[in-house]
Amino acid sequence: MSAPEARALSDPPTDGITSLCYLPQSSINPSLSLLACSSWDGCLRVYDTKTQANVVTHSMDSRSAAPLLSLAVPPSPEGILVAGSLNGLVQHYDIKTSTSTIIGAHCGGEQRTEQNACSCLAPIDCNVVASAGWDSKFHLWDLRIGSSGEQNKPVASHDLPGKAFSMDTHRGNEGKNTVVIATSGRRNCIIDMRVLSSEKAHELNEPIVVDLVPQQNRESSLKYQTRAVRLFPDGKGMALSSIEGRVAIEYLDEAEAEKTKKKKYAFKCHRVGDTIYPVNAIAFHPRFGTFATGGCDGTVVLWDAANKKRLTALPKMATSIAALAYNHDGTELAMASSYTFEEGERDHPRDEIYVREILDHESKPKNAK
């Protein structure tokens, strides 16, 4: 059986791609497979990966055309996207009505500059989204709040030890959430939170209450700047990648991991001869718990962290892999082939988004039957 081929989506972004996220399966039309994309050209795009067609292109800020650095898709069937921009804005976009709304900003009333950029976004639940930025701030936002010309305030905030480079969340039982933020200075901040009665507050039009408890502020086991961090599907560990061609596997509760004979480790990857490439993206398979990495060498590789094995290497793309995303069941992987300026300003291939069918034998752990 021949391996599936990657398919290019039509009308790709005109500038660097920053994030890829699949929408929940039931959004808008259950028969569609919708993929959202943010980019430096300031536009949100949505594609139907089955037809490879662009179904939405929306400029989030026509006045400033601020680049979009981050993207989040709440677990809602309503077709809602949240985008974070270089000027610090956090904006809500409704696909059904084609309208965007300012939820808040990282500038806190100050001038909107790249020092306040909203570099990371992640959904907490249908009504709450987390943001982190270059201003070393972490915020939680109530998505019900629209812009009335006044600066909206976050539901909760926390100071970070440095600029936020990457962030991920895991939703546990009874509304308990874990958030990990990778910052400058090789720090990883782990926050536990509980959003109290978000759905009930939404129905009664009451403020959302959040119990936010910082748990850890620890040094990364990687020696160089973190590019991406993603939590395991079970929320018990995380994978981190760096600019120096390495990926680390760490556990949130290291004492508990020791009891089950699990230890943190790191491995080299995305290297060609003596050339070492940054590892820009990580995406976990939603069913098998294996993960994919994408690097500036233009390759995507699938790994089995539990058994410390490389599973599959996909054919090389024309330029850097800037972002990755699996669909809801892990049968499709979206890949952004987009130069990330690791070699500075130079001519480079145009930005493209590819989707590829992922077969079970390519992504299943080696010891799984």
Question: What pLDDT digit, counting tens, does each position of 48-107 carry?
Answer: 999 999 999 999 875 557 899 999 999 887 789 999 999 999 999 999 899 998 899 997
pLDDT in tens, 38-48: 999 999 999 99
Q: What is the pLDDT of residue 168?
A: 97
Q: What is the pLDDT of residue 123?
A: 93
Q: How many helices (H) and strands (E) does the chain have?
A: 3, 30
Tell me, what DSSP letter sits at residue 115?
G
Q: What is the pLDDT of residue 197?
A: 54
Does 303 score more than 60 pLDDT? yes
Torsion, Cα of 209, 38, 335, 237 (10° steps): -20
Please state, in angstroms and rounded to a whole number, the distance separating the CA atoms of residues 306 and 262. 9
Q: What is the pLDDT of residue 259?
A: 78
State CA 268 to chain mean position distance: 22
Residue predicted with more confidence, 220 or 197? 220
pLDDT category of residue 148 using cuts at 50, 70 and 90 = very low
Does 204 score more than 50 pLDDT? no
Q: What is the pLDDT of residue 151?
A: 54
Please state, in angstroms and rounded to a whole number, the distance separating the CA atoms of residues 369 and 366. 8
Mean pLDDT of the chain: 88
Residue 285's identity, in one-letter code, is H
Environment class of 225 (CB within 10 Å of its CB; exposed 0-12, middle 13-18, buried 19+): middle
Q: What is the pLDDT of residue 251?
A: 92
For 55, residues 6+ apart whose C-beta sits below 8 A from its C-beta are 32, 34, 46, 47, 48
The answer to whether 264 and 247 are in contact (CB under 8 A) is no
Query: How much is the average pLDDT of 125-132?
Result: 91
Does 367 score more than 80 pLDDT? no
Does 205 score more than 60 pLDDT? no
Please state, in angstroms and rounded to a whole number, the distance separating the CA atoms of residues 235 and 169. 8
Query: How much is the average pLDDT of 334-342?
Result: 93
Q: What is the pLDDT of residue 322?
A: 98
Q: What is the pLDDT of residue 352?
A: 97
Residue predicted with more confidence, 31 or 156? 156
Please state, in angstroms and rounded to a whole number, the distance separating the CA atoms of residues 347 and 324. 23
CA angle 301, 307, 311 (to 5 degrees): 25
The answer to whether 353 and 9 are in contact (CB under 8 A) is yes
The answer to whether 195 and 124 are in contact (CB under 8 A) is yes
Q: What is the pLDDT of residue 206?
A: 58
CA angle 97, 333, 227 (to 5 degrees): 90
Does 150 score more than 50 pLDDT? no
pLDDT category of residue 272 using cuts at 50, 70 and 90 = very high
Does 248 score more than 70 pLDDT? yes
Among the residue ranges 61-65, 184-188, 275-279, the one predicted with the least confidence is 61-65
Query: How much is the average pLDDT of 273-283?
Result: 96
Torsion, Cα of 202, 203, 207, 212 (10° steps): -50
Q: What is the pLDDT of residue 187?
A: 95
Residue predicted with more confidence, 241 or 113? 241
Among the residue ranges 46-60, 202-216, 351-365, the one predicted with the least confidence is 202-216
Q: What is the pLDDT of residue 113?
A: 62
pLDDT category of residue 147 using cuts at 50, 70 and 90 = very low
Query: How much is the average pLDDT of 337-351?
Result: 88
Query: How much is the average pLDDT of 97-118?
Result: 79
pLDDT category of residue 26 using cuts at 50, 70 and 90 = low
Does 114 score more than 90 pLDDT? no
